Homo-oligomer: A and B are copies of this chain.
Amino acid sequence: MTEIESYIINFAKKFDAFFINLLPKDKFSKRLHSAMNYSLTVGGKRLRPVFLVEISKIFGVSIKRAFRSAAALEFIHCYSLVHDDLPAMDDDDLRRGHFTCHKKFDDATAILVGDAFQSLAFEILSDKKTHPNPEIRCRLINQLSKASGALGMVGGQMLDLEAEKKKLNIKEILLLQKLKTGELFRFSCIAGPILSGEKDLKTFTKFADNLGMAFQIKDDLLDVEGDENMMGKKTKKDLSRGKETLISFFGKENAKRKSEELIKNSTKLLKPFGKKARKLIELTNYVISRNK
């Protein structure tokens, strides 16, 4: 295991302990409570949270504040996974080697788990524990709601479902991926500056655009090349569904080269931050070196 891999695993452990603790303490429906809990405890790399927290550190934001915003973001990500796995959507039985929520419970429960995660994300951000300044909390909520809505993640998932029925051109694939994955990555990169009171989000928006696209190319490459056991989920899904990806367009080698170029663009933007950005640069490089 590389140093950065163990760094991320270590982060995920700490983050998960904090994250799961944000689930509602009361429980009116035990079933809903266990299904929410189950959907979190099956884990995840927590890549979006680790980016959010690392960038926050550069801006001098306290870990505790960064963790709360990262948790809100991860609740949105988790809800999208639970809903995307449903039979009506991508119809996946496994995620990270575990049964998906609707397989372990049922479809209705999975729909409600996703719905409750989304409310919880905004509840967390609206609380003064996230930041004492309500203006900053509102900025976070505004950005996260836009990133996840009809012109963000949800819009991207809709385009992705439509893509099973029609051939997309390269412009359409880029838009789909920017919405479906790019928007949440954008939030993970701008939350730190927002938490610090910074108004200018240009640098980290650019950073995120490059990062998000590189992440998506790597995900598509892993889908084509990846080992099903290593990935803990079905691979070669896009291929079997006849979906166009950047790889089916450019070919594997060009796609790989493109992702390296994107990561170079990202890390270049971090130069002004000098040594403070060392860990973030390692993380950024990891996005395309990872094997799962």
A interface residues with partner B (beta carbon < 8 Å): 23-24, 26, 28-29, 31-33, 36, 79, 83, 86, 88-89, 106-109, 111-112, 114-116, 118-120, 122-123, 125-128, 133-135, 137-139, 141-142, 145-146, 148-152, 154-159, 161-162, 175, 179
Contacts and interface: CB of A to CB of B under 8 A. Distances in A.
Given A83-B115, A134-B135, A145 B120 contact: yes
A158 B112 contact: yes
A150 B31 contact: no
A184 B122 CA distance: 16
Contacts of A159: 28-29
Given A88-B107, A151-B24, A115 B112 contact: no
Contacts of A107: 88
Given A107-B88, A137-B134, A158 B120 contact: no
A267 to B, nearest CB: 30
B145 A123 contact: yes
* Copies of this subunit: 2
A31 B142 contact: no
B150 A126 contact: no
Nearest to A159: B29
A49 to B, nearest CB: 19
A155 B33 CA distance: 9
A115 to B, nearest CB: 5
A237 to B, nearest CB: 16
A149 B116 contact: yes
Nearest to A25: B151
